[in-house]
Structure formats: structure tokens, C-alpha cells
Amino acid sequence: MKNVIISRTDNLGDVILTLPLAGVIKKHFPGCTVWFLGKSYTRPLISLCRNVDHFLDRNDLSSLPSADAIIHVFPDKEVCKAAKKAGIPIRIATSHRWFTRLYCNHVISFSRRRSDLHEAQLNLKLLQPLGIHESLSLEKIPEYYGFELPRKENPSSPEKSNKKKIILHPRSKGSAREWGLDNYSRLISLLPENLFEIYITGTREEGESMSEFLKKNSGRIQDMTGRLTLPELVAFIDQCDVLIAASTGPLHIAAALGKKVIGLYAPIRPMHPGRWAPLGKDAHFLVIDKVCSKCRRSGDCECIRSILPEEVVKKIREQ
């Protein structure tokens, strides 16, 4: 196997949990060139992975390289169609979308929604047509992230001090149930000012949606919303100690960087931590022990909001 394309055209957290595929491919085919096809905004993140050689933009499917195989981790109809037109001989996808049987010649049957495996473990099943039948424990998968950050001065670096630097990322852009700003305010009040520096991250729009929260806690936090590009955010996370968020891209980025992370989850399938927990050497999550589907059709989740800020503080203090 000389050239393989990994296609995942959704969001940051999904991309992070797909990157171990590149590491596993390189392990089994050391001389293989790995391409990653994704959304343009994920490019800066993918470029940090030493196991990915080239990036392909989802918006430019007219110039797919000559490859031996393409793995449609997140089946995208137009990408599947383009790969078949390009004559890529091994085209792998899951079987649960009608168009994968039309455009792909290796369809793997498994249900992500009903599986007890983690998303990153499920992704590995797509390597079987390449002759790779490898299952990895959740503890082993982080060895295959392959992140390498350039060491340069970041204009948005946190201030140097002996305090523990904590990032709170309250919003999720709709990708996960959220813990609630009242809980974040309570958490801020529980963290002694002489021990912790607290930073709030998010997009400019998320910052605007949290204006009252940011104003209320302005004496204890530093507002970084809307101030960081994606490369700057990654570098900023790397220079902090702890990140707390729902199941969002920054949570999975921080876990992949080896930071201490505390993910806040709803118990509902398929959003539960069994499927989407952060994976890293110091990755943790909190979820109430309850079977519940009450909020399946709602963005508001009383189960995640019932996680106590005191429990988060306890996790922060654990060594």
C-alpha cells in the first residue's frame, strides 16, 4: 500500500478521533503516503499530525491524487462519487448510507449508534479491507495521534505564573449538550484566585451569546473568545494545564495534546462518553449514572446540568 486517503469532512472533534487511523496505517505500511481529505478550516489541525503527509480540501474534489485506497470514515456522497470517478481501486465505507453501496466496493457493516465501542475504536474497523485487523484499547489509541506542535512564541500565550491555568469552553456550537453558564459561574467561584488562572474560550459569536456571563465573572476570568485562530487556540491549550468542556473539538484537542481534560457528558446514546469520551494520558469525564432519553429532541439536558461544580473541582484537584 503506497498511497491512502482518509476522508472525514465533519468537525474538529471527529477529525481528532480519526487521526489515529493515519498512525496505524503508517505502522503497518511504513512507506505509505497518507492524505487527509477534510473541511478547509480543519487543515491547521491536520497539519500538526506527523502521520499525515498531505491535506486535501473538501471543496476541491477535481484533483484527487492517484491513490491505492480511500477510507470514507464519514461518508460524504460527493466525495464517494469523486473517488469512484477518479478510479481509486479500494473504496471503503460503512454500509448504512445508500450511496456507499453505489460508489464504494468495500462496505463494512456495523452500527455506530448501537455499538459499545468508542468512536476511535469503530474507525479502526474500516482498515480491514487493507488487511489491518487491529483493535486498540482506549489507553493505547492516544499513542497514534502523532501531534507535533511547532515551538514558537504565541502572541496570545497565557501569562507566566505559578498558578494553575484552566480553560473553560462553555459552548459547543450545537455539537453537544451543554453544562450551563450557571454551573460554570459556580465553578469559577469555587476555584481560589490565588491558585488558579481562568480563561474562557470560544468563537466571537459564542462570546457574544455569553456576554452577561463574561461580564458577571470579569474579575476572575480572562476572556479569550473570538481572539484566537485555530492554530493559536491549539498553542494556547498546549500552554495551559486543564480544559473543561462538553464533548467539543477543544476538549478532544486538549486530550490529544496530553493535557488534563474533564469532559461533561449527557448519558443519552449516542452522545454518551462510551462513544465520545476524550482520549489522552490525563483525560477524564463526568456523567450521571442514569438511563435517560428525555432530552433526545431538545438541546436542553437536565442530566448534564445536574453534574455538580463541586465534582468538577474534585477532578481538577486529583493527581
Q: For residue 98, tell me if it sits in a domain.
A: yes
Q: For residue 212, tell me if it sits in a domain.
A: yes
Assess whether 246 and 109 both reside in one domain.
no
Give pLDDT tens digits for 263-300: 999 998 888 999 999 999 999 999 998 877 777 766 67
Assess whether 290 and 243 both reside in one domain.
yes
Residue tagged 505500511 (cell numbers): 29
Q: For residue 15, tell me if it sits in a domain.
A: yes
Give pLDDT tens digits for 204-223: 999 999 999 999 999 999 99
Q: Using alpha carbons, list the distances in angstroms from residue 279 to 143, 183, 269.
A: 10, 24, 18
C-alpha cell at 189: 467561584
Assess whether 295 and 188 both reside in one domain.
yes
* Residue 304 DSSP label: H
Domain count, the chain: 2
Rounded to two decimals, the pTM is 0.94
Assess whether 126 and 20 both reside in one domain.
yes
Q: What CATH number does the domain containing 30 carry? A: 3.40.50.2000
**DSSP 3-state of 303:** helix
Domain range for 217 is 164-317
Assess whether 7 and 133 both reside in one domain.
yes
Assess whether 53 and 121 both reside in one domain.
yes
Q: For residue 158, tell me if it sits in a domain.
A: no
C-alpha cell at 244: 473543561
Residue type, 277: A
Assess whether 105 and 136 both reside in one domain.
yes
Assess whether 133 and 203 both reside in one domain.
no
Contacts of 226 (CB under 8 A, 6+ apart): 202, 203, 204, 205, 206, 207
Q: What is the pLDDT of residue 270?
A: 81
Q: What is the pLDDT of residue 114?
A: 78
Q: For residue 155, tell me if it sits in a domain.
A: no
Distance in angstroms (rounded) separating the CA atoms of residues 236 and 223: 13
- Contact, 235 vs 154, CB < 8 A? yes
Q: For residue 157, tell me if it sits in a domain.
A: no
Assess whether 78 and 189 both reside in one domain.
no
Distance in angstroms (rounded) separating the CA atoms of residues 46 and 266: 28
Assess whether 176 and 124 both reside in one domain.
no
Which residues, given as ranges, of the chain have pLDDT below 50? none
Assess whether 171 and 304 both reside in one domain.
yes
